[in-house]
Amino acid sequence: MKTYIGVKQVMAEEDERDGQPGYKVVYPDGYESWSPKEVFDRAYLEMPENMTSEPNYEMINNFISVATVVDREDNTILATLILRSGFEQQALGGYDPIDGMTDDEKADYILIKSKEIIWDYLKFVHQWAVKGLSPVYGQLEPMTKKDFDLLLAPVPIGKPS
């Protein structure tokens, strides 16, 4: 057998069965099922009513298990976010120094930038859940080396506007 992953958007509401907490789950095609709370909570993240392109920090914060910010001796700040999925996101901000910005403001800034990266991940997953995967992937043009290099290029983090 092969291994697969899938992402889907469902509607759900709390529903206790036989004294066990859980959720009634309704799939996009109308199929209904029930899931124990522990299983449901490991698989699903509550989405805002109207998903927008603007970061939803409440949702982002609910997706983060641990966040640390370290002011390093080389005049940089390292933010590490460990997500509920186990994925670790790190962002390093270099400051030579930014006039008028305290160490706390620098730390807050790099943490916000890190959370905006997490938001981009969540938007990606949301689109996958809502639209599914296109069956025409084999018809797309292959990515060029230049395109690939652009994807991997570091993004500079500078003074906030």
d(CA 81, CA 100): 26
pLDDT band at 130 (very low <50, low <70, confident <90, very high): confident
| Residue 161 scores a pLDDT above 50 | no
DSSP-derived 3-state class of residue 116: helix
112 and 37 in a common domain: no
In the chain, the amino acid numbered 129 is A
Q: What is the pLDDT of residues 41-100, one digit of tens each?
A: 999 988 887 777 888 898 999 999 999 988 887 777 888 999 999 999 998 876 555 556
14 and 75 in a common domain: no
Report if pTM > 0.85.
no
- What is the pLDDT, as a whole number, of residue 80? 93
80 and 35 in a common domain: no
- What is the pLDDT, as a whole number, of residue 98? 57
Quick check: is 157 in a domain? no
pLDDT band at 118 (very low <50, low <70, confident <90, very high): very high
102 and 81 in a common domain: yes
Quick check: is 110 in a domain? yes
| Residue 15 scores a pLDDT above 80 | yes
Nearest to 42 by CA among 28, 61, 22, 56: 22
35 and 65 in a common domain: no
40 and 87 in a common domain: no
39 and 62 in a common domain: no
Total tally of structural domains belonging to the chain? 2
DSSP state for residue 12 in the 8-state scheme: E
- Point out the least confidently predicted range of 11-15, 32-36, 137-141: 137-141
Domain housing 40 = 1-44
Quick check: is 24 in a domain? yes
Quick check: is 160 in a domain? no
Percent of the chain with pLDDT over 70: 81
Averaged pLDDT, 5-12 = 90
- What is the pLDDT, as a whole number, of residue 88? 93
In the chain, the amino acid numbered 122 is L
Q: How big is the CA angle at 134 (ends 64 and 44), to the nearest 5 degrees?
A: 25
Which sign does the torsion angle of CA 95, 96, 98, 104 carry? positive
